[in-house]
Amino acid sequence: MSDGALAHVRRVRSIVQGRDGSGAAGPCNAITRSWIRCLHDYQLDPERREEPEVVDAAELAERRERLAGVQAVAKVEMANLYQQLAGSGYAIVLTDAAGVLLNYFGDPGFTHAASRSGLMPGAVWSERAQGTNGMGTCLAERRPVTVHQDEHYLVRHIGLSCAGAPIFDHEGEIVAALDASGESRLAQQHTLALVTMSVQMIENRVFLDRFRHDYILRFHNRPEFIGTLSEGAIALDPAGKVLAATRCALFQLGFAAPADIVGHDITELFNSSFPGLVDSTVRKAFHAVPIFGLRNGARFYSVMLPPVRVTSSAGRQAAAPTSQAPSPLERVHFGDAAMAANVRIATRVCERNVAIMLVGETGTGKEVFAQALHRSGPRAGKPFVAINCAAIPETLIESELFGYRAGAFTGASKEGQQGKLYQANGGTLFLDEIGDMPYPLQARLLRVLEERTIVPLGGGAPLPLDIQVTSATHCDLQQMIAKGTFREDLFYRLQGITLRLPPLRERTDVRALVSLIVTEESDDGAPLSLDETLLAALERQRWPGNLRQLRHLLRAMIALRESDHLTVHDLPPEYRTGIVAPESPMRDSEEALSGTRDPGAHAAGPLAAGLPQDDVLAADPDATDPLATDPDDGNSHDLNPLEHAEREALLRELQRHDWNISTVARQLHISRNTLYRKVQRLHIRHPGKAVPC
């Protein structure tokens, strides 16, 4: 054992024994209490070196299943936290109440150290198993703790710095722990504060989701703080009795535990009646109304959320929020300023039924944004009906939109049909690609929006219509107005407010979006980490297909990965242009062992001159078709789509450089050996060669 380790063990023992003896060794803090538990209660040897115990896959799956709701919310917060701490060498970890590690967001710089330390899914990080540590000790202490370097009990963990906080449910029971662990020298003071804030956010969201079918009173002593992590929330049954309350609610009202208020009538807490609270919030279009706490006389502002009801009307509708879809608007950005402003503005205007127009390139998430807005707003639980004006044939769009009476036209069904506009009644109508709405129908749509009534094809009494209209386009509608293909009056009716969704290449939260999508797309439970060079490469792409393209790319990379650490080597070649990619450790070591590393592989310019002629793959003299442009040894049909794409790109490069291996390797910033392996793996051969080169 090293001197440092020996000193650590001595220190642990002497501090614990000092406490046992006179008890005069200064205040007993969380670390000392934990050390005492470790030595006496768990009889752990501080020198213990074994790897953490890891539960088997079935048990891990069961534990994850049990905590599915919390996990769904926590994943979003973990991505947020990761973004806030990115680059500082932290792993963000979620454990269950027993300290079993469920999910992991790894900082690329910490991945190796993390797995060495046992930060892997299924590992048991309870205090009993691993001694004093961020996750286990916050669970044992029931409060947030920082465990820095040699505050860890086991010698094997003193290279770590951890900040952990327990996550409580609405009954005050611990259900999980959130933790940020990193290399000690990178430890930051504010980490624990960030972790604690994330926990609060998770608890609030889980609460709002858990009680979404009940009334929820959200309050704070400052109106602008409603909807933030410090708001209080109380769930109420239809008679106004308290079902549950968040920790922030208890704190603001001066209660110690949920049992102090559960079952009490709301009138015992505030100076307002339950129907009064519901009415005033609805009348004020969900704007905060002042109320007074009876216990401490404090003034609060409150908003009463009505229960979310699941509707069954036809059309493409947003499901009521479920534990799989926590706080939808929070998922659309991770700190990008333009998106944050969009969310802020949209949230405010949507409560007042202002028409919203979303403008942005294809794939920037206009429909996702519209759905999120709907599900976060006062119409959540009511229908969300999306119509893609470009996808419906012009001849059908009128009946699709407005519906028709029985026998309205030849071929009409006997029963008639409810139009999409009416299906959206009470909820949101999302008009996608509004620029493709046929000109004659624009006048009719305008009339419906102005009069808020609808008359189906074939006539009849007008039906009242109450809809939030959100439309989207990637066209320049002003230009269309100038050309006379879009009505100006409809344009102004649709754009109460215009929000521009930024293209992905302009967003500052690409890394967090990547992390979130990777987590969403890797639901086989594998903990994936992303190499720094890969993240940097993704940030630099142009992304003409924006978020849609990013998701498809990541989905393919995850499906085809060779290991759980994704690097630029997992990118298809067309994404690698201009990237100086380090060889993966595996590849490096292969080449080091075989002594075949090509020192010129990353060199450019002058080295290209004077290449040995054997760098050029020689054509086979027996070749029948030396000019073939799609060489194939007959096995390439075994390749998956991504490999096919890679093969094609590689072929193009090889042909462009006359099959000169060194030049192509240099262009792609890979070694010749790596290129040879690729050529073999992708079944590429020189047009004139009989066997793979």
Binding residues for ligand ATP (CB under 6 A): 331-332, 360, 362-368, 432, 472, 474, 513, 517, 547-548, 551
Cβ(326)–Cβ(440) under 8 Å? no
Residue nearer to ligand ATP on the CB measure, 127 or 367? 367
DSSP strand pairing (289-292 vs 529-530): unpaired
Residue among 432 and 531 whose Cβ is closer to ligand ATP: 432
Give the C-alpha separation, 246 to 383, whole Å: 29
In this complex, which beta carbon is closest to ligand ATP, that of residue 474 or of residue 500?
474
Asked if 352 contacts 379 with a C-beta cutoff of 8 angstroms, the reply is no
Yes or no: say if 92 and 178 are a contact pair by the CB < 8 Å rule: yes
Closest approach, Cβ 432 to ligand ATP, in A, equals: 6
Residue nearer to ligand ATP on the CB measure, 113 or 397: 397
Closest CA to 576 of 534, 623, 625: 534
Q: Are 581 and 615 in contact (CB under 8 A)?
A: no
CA angle 415, 420, 424 (to 5 degrees): 115
Q: Which is nearer to ligand ATP, 505 or 548 (CB)?
A: 548
For ligand ATP, which is the closer residue by CB, 361 or 643?
A: 361
The interaxial angle of helices 641-656 and 661-668, nearest 10 deg, is: 120
Nearest distance from residue 539's CB to ligand ATP, in Å? 16
Question: In this structure, what DSSP letter does residue 39 have?
Answer: I
CB of 373 to ligand ATP, least distance (A): 12
Shortest Å, Cβ 362 to ligand ATP? 4
DSSP string, 564-597: SEE-GGGS-GGG-TT--PPPPHHHHHHHHHHT--
Neighbours of 309 (CB within 10 A): 11
Task: Give the containing element (helix H, strand E) for 341.
Answer: helix 337-350
Strands 299-305 and 215-220: antiparallel
Report in angstroms how near the CB of residue 448 gets to ligand ATP at its nearest. 23
d(CA 133, CA 159): 12
* Residue with token string 């603001």: 252
Closer by beta carbon to ligand ATP, 96 or else 432: 432
Question: Minimum distance from CB of 371 to ligand ATP (Å)?
Answer: 8
How far, CA to CA in Å, does 510 sit from each of 200, 267, 540?
A: 25, 47, 10
Instruction: Name the residue nearer to ligand ATP (CB basis): 128 or 474.
Output: 474
Minimum CB separation from ligand ATP for residue 368, in Å?
Answer: 4
Query: In which element (H, E) is residue 358 found?
Result: strand 356-359
Backbone angles phi, psi at 483, to 5 degrees: -85, -5
Three-state SS for 74?
helix
Kindly tell me which of 32 and 342 has the beta carbon lying closer to ligand ATP.
Answer: 342
Q: Would the CA dihedral through 472, 483, 450, 445 be positive or negative?
A: negative
Query: Quick one: 132 or 468, whose CB is closer to ligand ATP?
Result: 468
| 216 versus 501: smaller Cβ distance to ligand ATP | 501
- The least distance separating ligand ATP from the CB of residue 544, rounded to whole angstroms, comes to 11
Q: How far is the CB of 545 from ligand ATP (least distance, A)?
A: 8
Reduced to 3 states (helix: H, G, I; strand: E, B; else coil), residue 94 is strand
Nearer to ligand ATP, 221 or 362 (CB): 362
Q: For 331, which DSSP code?
A: G
d(CA 413, CA 416): 5
Q: Which is nearer to ligand ATP, 428 or 660 (CB)?
A: 428
Residue type, 555: R
Nearest-approach distance from CB 567 to ligand ATP, in angstroms: 22
Measured CA to CA, the distance from residue 659 to residue 648 in angstroms comes to 14
**Strand 428-432 relative to strand 468-473, pairing:** parallel
- Is the distance from CB of 183 to CB of 89 less than 8 angstroms? yes
**Minimum distance of ligand ATP from residue 426's CB (angstroms):** 23
Nearer to ligand ATP, 516 or 649 (CB): 516
CB of 112 to ligand ATP, least distance (A): 28
Q: Provide the minimum distance between the beta carbon of 467 and ligand ATP in the complex, in angstroms, as a whole number.
A: 19
Q: Which two tokens stand for residue 292?
A: 């007074």
* Nearest CB to ligand ATP, comparing residues 146 and 364: 364
Pairing assessment for the beta strands 453-454 and 384-388 based on DSSP bridges:
unpaired
Instruction: Please give the residue whose beta carbon sits closest to ligand ATP in the complex.
Output: 365
CB count in 10 Å sphere of residue 87: 13
Do 422 and 468 form a contact (C-beta atoms < 8 A)? no
Cβ at position 495, least distance to ligand ATP in Å = 17
CB 469 within 8 A of CB 353: no
Is 107 within 8 Å of 85 (Cβ atoms)? yes
Helix (H) and strand (E) counts in the chain: 24, 21
Please, what is the minimum distance in Å from the beta carbon of residue 499 to ligand ATP? 12
Nearer to ligand ATP, 499 or 517 (CB): 517
Question: Measured from the CB of residue 127, what is the shortest distance to ligand ATP in angstroms?
Answer: 37
